[in-house]
Structure 1
């Protein structure tokens, strides 16, 4: 599986779409590959809403990873429909597709993803995630054989995204599949997204992690100010919800919840931006934004 010396010296670059049903570990996988946190994660399905490019340059190989929203059944709101469209758009003009599946489980939503990718002509890798939790190896081998029979042209790589097991093998397989190309981005660039976008996503992650069970999906974050003054980066972020009750939940008793959200988001921002952060958060009610196509566009939910 190791690359030859000639392969290592050949300049390779291409787009790698990481697809799968919600909450299967796509964002965690990309964060570990990149060696730092760019994609937000939580146990709540549909945490990822936008396609985001994570750029990994190692020697002669530059892989451009596209983190996609999980493809899910149903399209109850404009936001749901946007997320499914966004995930589908990531499959255009890609060079490698990594289909992340969860060890022994195969659901209706896995089947939905399979239906979307089965006609792709680019190389396909099935990354079987969370295999570190399996004790019955015979059962796993039977499942891997089932996957192989279903997608005979795919390369199957068992991994654990959370514990970074076999990630190096996955990267090596991806690198071998990428086309010969000059690199598209500078060696030190890690994403195509703006710092404002990353800041907003970090705030949204902390809300979803703390209030996943209490808060539905109708929440988004808009950065209104992003300004470096001396050694301090000042960030003002507006948290938009749909109902007064949601606003109260986020603020919490005597403002304790929003204070904690801000503290946790600020810690991650200081690591990501490598500077001292002054973060101010506000909560505002904007009724019906998640099912309003115009409101979604104004908040940055635009098809590419």
Structure 2
């Protein structure tokens, strides 16, 4: 009798949430695992606002990655985002905490792991990110510090693994370790989907990323983007499609509007060009992007404006 069918591993599928303090490498890690740019990565901390899921399709598994933005709540927006995070952690199969290997464990890390300790049933994995920026000695010390933090907070790490999203070092191994922790089950998303975020959200995020590049430090939290209208231009030959996108970029003050527009509109043109190239790469279609800057005074503290901007 042939027992081959019993040796085939069952298909697994489930949700993994990456968490860590700002700039811990969560978004870059999501993109490295998915193999496509689905989450905005900016060198400005606290730029992730939407819980975008990246989807890793494998023959044996489907990994759905949830990027959860944990902020020190200074505004109503920050509080709403943190409530969302706690709910997400309780619903996912694995929470992977990212600790950048080139930085010492700090109060922000301890805060996150303490919060995570309140979520009892979820499996927890520690990921030492950015190993390409650290020496072997630093990495060894870092792994010991992560283990110690687990002990101090009564957090049991199912795995502790060092990776580099930039060089790709141990990314495949991390994917295997995450898959091992998932329940058996069929794929939850169609093959080929890389994210379940509507295209408008991804487009808004790419515009926001382009707008954040190179602006002063005071701007990141003050920028929101909404896509007002998006559709293929009518009356064009099917072999030459053009996607029209009309988007608004919101800032909180007149002075910020000036910064975003730049001298004689140069900065806004630059943002539009960079965003358009990224959107075209993501959607595979030529794009016409019409971008306007608007002022929504103190939108981060105003419940009505938050709703309008999709938070």
What is the distance in 1 between the residues matched to 2:205 and 2:309? 13
What residue ranges of structure 2 are gaps of 5+ in the alignment?
none
1:199 to 2:203 alignment: yes
**C-alpha RMSD of matched pairs (Å):** 1.7
1:141 to 2:151 alignment: no
Q: 1:261-276 to 2 correspondence within 5 Å?
A: 261-276=271-286
Q: 1:3-14 to 2 correspondence within 5 Å?
A: 9-14=9-14
- 8 Å Cα contact 1:51/1:90 also seen in 2: no
1:186 alignment partner, SS class = coil
1:175 to 2:179 alignment: yes
1:92 alignment partner, SS class = helix
Deviation of 1:60 after TM superposition, in Å, equals 2.1
- 8 Å Cα contact 1:99/1:124 also seen in 2: yes
Deviation of 1:92 after TM superposition, in Å, equals 2.2
- 8 Å Cα contact 2:132/2:166 also seen in 1: no
* Larger displacement relative to structure 2 (27-36 or 118-127): 118-127
What is the distance in 2 between the residues matched to 1:253 and 1:179? 55
What is the distance in 2 between the residues matched to 1:20 and 1:6? 39
- 8 Å Cα contact 2:92/2:122 also seen in 1: yes
Q: Could you tell me which of 254, 271, 287 is aligned with 1:244?
A: 254
What is the distance in 1 between the residues matched to 2:176 and 2:221? 36
Q: Could you tell me which of 91, 94, 115 is aligned with 2:92?
A: 94
Deviation of 1:197 after TM superposition, in Å, equals 0.7
1:22 to 2:22 alignment: yes
- 8 Å Cα contact 2:34/2:54 also seen in 1: yes
1:90 alignment partner, SS class = helix
* Structure whose alpha-carbon radius of gyration is higher: 2
TM-score by length of 2: 0.90
Q: Could you tell me which of 66, 82, 85 is aligned with 2:80?
A: 82
What is the distance in 2 between the residues matched to 1:194 and 1:282? 21
- 8 Å Cα contact 2:14/2:93 also seen in 1: yes
1:211 alignment partner, SS class = coil
- 8 Å Cα contact 1:72/1:109 also seen in 2: no
1:253 to 2:263 alignment: yes
After TM superposition, what 4+ stretches of structure 1 lie above 6 angstroms from structure 2? 5-8
What is the distance in 2 between the residues matched to 1:107 and 1:39? 25
- 8 Å Cα contact 2:296/2:305 also seen in 1: no
CA, structure 1 residues 216+193, in 2 after alignment: closer, same or farther (shift >3 Å)?
closer
2:232 alignment partner, SS class = strand
2:121 alignment partner, SS class = coil
